[in-house]
């Protein structure tokens, strides 16, 4: 009888312990993100956060760029070159894919073979590394990569190169079986849909995540991401706006600024209008637009003064940066004089194509439109989605004179593959200055950082006078953490890389 009573008393405790164990055995962190691209499992698509969030969780890159622009080892342990054209890359020892297959030289060889295929050339990473001529394995952990021409920035570009498991990737390419998308990162793909992605912890990762699952939920609307965070249905909301700071902190959460490698500008799609004689073909018009926009006022009112105006699409420390190039001052009177000199004293209409990610984007666009209206330019905003913008741009189908764009400021040499006559947009770049090509070519052939910087500085100065867009500011990124999820040390300090394996709920 006593034994039955003791057993009865113990049952609730046993049940409680079992339920507690079940909770701890199924810990999850939910992230609300504005975009889950149609190529969710493809490590060769996407260049920056948050669009690459679904792939950096599964596929490790060769290197990571820290907040000071320094290249840090990740899959790659070291790299070197005598002439900036032939590079040796050594991989870290003991790293394996989630299947147990080692991450070795053969995996890199297979990866580059994909990027050089017909399909790979159309993907963003493959097109960004199109200048790689070949690769060969020197040992199980070392490869030799040969470029078409010297490139002193090649180590920086290795941050784009994420490596899938070769046999699985071949199966994915042949059959579309997403189960073949296998990496060495902290998580593995588990459930995939257009708006929700569930990732399971990879027990073979170098740094095993302390949670069992990471759930990425696509919420394109910034308000919806904010509400999900405050309601507790999301632990981390990415790509928020300054206006979200106060309510997040009032709820006990944290508002974090994340580094990006992007400088924002409003690009001119001049080449798309060569046949139509658009006013933006005149550099005086493009300079007028730069004087017409009150960038500091927008920064102060909409970005809480967290960034600064820029007058070039390069960060300090990158080749070509010129400290003497000041941002265009706000001078609407000078803007009007330039328009009059170009034959447009009465102004003209044009179209702006944009795909807002954050509420700030819409407010910023509206303020720019208002500033341009003051000099007689009537701007019509034509909306698009994030998923639509890349094919519209790369197929020269924007049907707009302007669009929001960014420069990858730590790698200006690579960026000129997109925003110059060399543009890889279906043979139709959006902007072209033939007179700048000689300087770009000279910088590319340089075997030292100093020589490349000298050559590129002349190009940057010319670009200031013949602007490819309205220079805006350093691009901030803001993320919100719930009270349940502490901010990991160093979160957001690296460029376009976050250590998702450090997300640990309370």
Contact yes or no for 266/430 (Cβ under 8 A): no
Question: Nearest 5 degrees, angle CA 180-CA 184-CA 188?
Answer: 55
Q: Specify the pairing of strand 402-408 against strand 262-268.
A: antiparallel
DSSP code, position 328: P
Q: For residue 385, name the pLDDT band (cuts at 50, 70, 90).
A: confident
Residue 162 has pLDDT above 90, yes or no: yes
pLDDT of residue 230: 97
Residue 129 has pLDDT above 60, yes or no: yes
Helix segments in 145-218, DSSP class H: 154-157, 166-175
Kindly report, residue by residue over 325-337, the tens digit of the pLDDT: 999 999 999 999 9
Q: Specify the pairing of strand 28-33 against strand 236-240.
A: parallel
Kindly report, residue by residue over 311-359, the tens digit of the pLDDT: 999 887 788 989 899 999 999 999 999 999 999 999 999 999 999 876 6
Residue 406 has pLDDT above 90, yes or no: no
Burial classification of residue 17, based on how many CB atoms lie within 10 Å of its CB (0-12 exposed, 13-18 middle, 19 or more buried) = exposed
Rounded to an integer, the average pLDDT of 423-449 is 81
Of all helices (H) and strands (E), which one includes residue 196? strand 196-201
Taken in order of first residue, the domains within the chain and their CATH numbers are 28-37+185-260+477-502 (3.40.190.10), 61-169 (3.90.76.10), 262-474 (3.10.105.10)
pLDDT of residue 2: 42
Kindly report, residue by residue over 17-53, the tens digit of the pLDDT: 333 333 334 699 999 999 999 899 999 999 889 999 9
For 439-458, give the DSSP string.
Answer: HHHHHHH-SSHHHHHHHHHH
CA distances from 302 to 274, 369, 405, 478 (A): 35, 15, 18, 13
Strand order in the sheet with 348-354: 377-383, 348-354, 402-408, 262-268, 469-474
Residue 401 has pLDDT above 60, yes or no: yes
Q: Specify the pairing of strand 187-192 against strand 142-147.
A: unpaired
Q: End-to-end CA distance of the chain, in Å?
A: 42
User: What percent of the chain lies above the pLDDT cut of 70?
Assistant: 92
Q: For residue 5, name the pLDDT band (cuts at 50, 70, 90).
A: very low
pLDDT of residue 399: 86
Question: Nearest 5 degrees, angle CA 153-CA 50-CA 201?
Answer: 100
Kindly report, residue by residue over 258-279, the tens digit of the pLDDT: 888 788 999 998 887 766 678 9
Compute how many other C-beta atoms are within 10 angstroms of the C-beta atom of residue 179. 13
Which residues are CB-contacts of 414 (< 8 A; sequence separation ≥ 6)?
A: 128, 153, 156, 157, 408
Of all helices (H) and strands (E), which one includes residue 469? strand 469-474
Compute how many other C-beta atoms are within 10 angstroms of the C-beta atom of residue 345. 11
pLDDT of residue 16: 33
Kindly report, residue by residue over 171-223, the tens digit of the pLDDT: 999 999 999 999 999 999 999 999 999 999 999 999 999 999 999 999 999 99
Going by C-alpha positions, the residue among 313, 276, 238, 287 that lies closest to residue 500 is 238
φ, ψ for residue 145, nearest 5 deg: -110, 125
* Mean pLDDT over the full length of the chain: 89
pLDDT of residue 274: 63
Q: Specify the pairing of strand 71-73 against strand 63-65.
A: antiparallel
Contact yes or no for 384/400 (Cβ under 8 A): no
Compute how many other C-beta atoms are within 10 angstroms of the C-beta atom of residue 337. 16
Give the tokens for residue 351: 């179209």
Q: Helix, strand or coil for residue 87?
A: strand
Residue 237 has pLDDT above 80, yes or no: yes
Q: Give the chain's length.
A: 506
Q: State yes or no: cis peptide before 50, omega within 30 of 0.
A: yes
């Amino acid at each position: 009888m006593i034994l039955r009573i003791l057993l009865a008393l113990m049952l609730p405790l046993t049940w409680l312990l079992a339920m507690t164990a079940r909770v701890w055995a199924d810990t999850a962190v939910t992230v609300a993100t504005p975009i889950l691209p149609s190529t969710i499992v493809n490590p060769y698509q996407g260049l920056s956060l948050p669009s690459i969030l679904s792939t950096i969780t599964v596929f490790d890159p060769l290197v990571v760029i820290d907040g000071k622009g320094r290249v840090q080892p990740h899959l790659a342990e070291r790299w070197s070159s005598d002439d900036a054209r032939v590079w040796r890359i050594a991989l870290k020892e003991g790293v394996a894919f989630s299947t147990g297959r080692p991450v070795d030289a053969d995996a890199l060889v297979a990866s580059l073979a994909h990027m050089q295929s017909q399909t790979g050339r159309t993907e963003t990473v493959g097109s960004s590394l199109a200048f790689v001529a070949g690769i060969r394995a020197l040992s199980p952990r070392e490869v030799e990569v040969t470029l078409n021409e010297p490139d002193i920035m090649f180590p920086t570009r290795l941050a784009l190169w994420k490596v899938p498991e070769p046999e699985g990737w071949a199966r994915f390419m042949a059959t579309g079986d997403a189960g073949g998308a296998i990496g060495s990162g902290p998580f593995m793909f588990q459930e995939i849909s257009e708006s929700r992605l569930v990732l399971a912890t990879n027990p073979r990762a170098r740094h095993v995540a302390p949670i069992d699952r990471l759930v990425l939920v696509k919420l394109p609307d910034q308000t919806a991401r904010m509400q999900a965070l405050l309601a507790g249905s999301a632990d981390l909301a990415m790509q928020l706006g300054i206006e979200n700071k106060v309510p997040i902190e009032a709820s006990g959460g944290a508002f974090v600024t994340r580094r990006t490698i992007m400088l924002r500008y409003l690009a001119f799609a001049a080449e798309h209008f060569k046949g139509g004689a658009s006013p933006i073909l005149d550099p005086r018009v493009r300079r007028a637009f730069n004087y017409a926009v009150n960038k500091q006022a927008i920064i102060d009112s909409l970005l809480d003064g967290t960034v600064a105006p820029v007058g070039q699409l390069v960060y300090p420390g990158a080749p070509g940066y010129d400290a003497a190039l000041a941002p265009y001052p706000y001078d609407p009177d000078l803007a009007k004089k330039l328009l009059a000199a170009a034959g447009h004293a009465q102004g003209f209409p044009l179209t702006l194509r944009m795909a807002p990610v954050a509420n700030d984007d819409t407010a910023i666009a509206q303020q720019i439109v208002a500033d341009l209206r003051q000099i007689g330019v009537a701007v019509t905003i034509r909306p698009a989605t994030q998923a639509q913008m890349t094919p519209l741009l790369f197929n020269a189908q924007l049907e707009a004179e302007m669009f929001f764009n960014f420069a990858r400021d730590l790698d200006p040499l690579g960026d000129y593959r997109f925003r110059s006559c060399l543009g890889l947009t279906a043979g139709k770049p959006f902007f072209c200055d033939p007179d700048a090509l000689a300087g770009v070519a000279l910088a590319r052939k340089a075997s030292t950082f100093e020589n490349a910087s000298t050559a590129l500085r002349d190009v940057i100065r010319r670009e200031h006078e013949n602007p490819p867009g309205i220079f805006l500011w350093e691009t901030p990124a803001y993320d919100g953490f719930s009270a349940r999820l502490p901010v990991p040390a160093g979160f957001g300090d690296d460029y376009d890389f976050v250590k998702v394996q450090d997300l640990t709920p309370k």
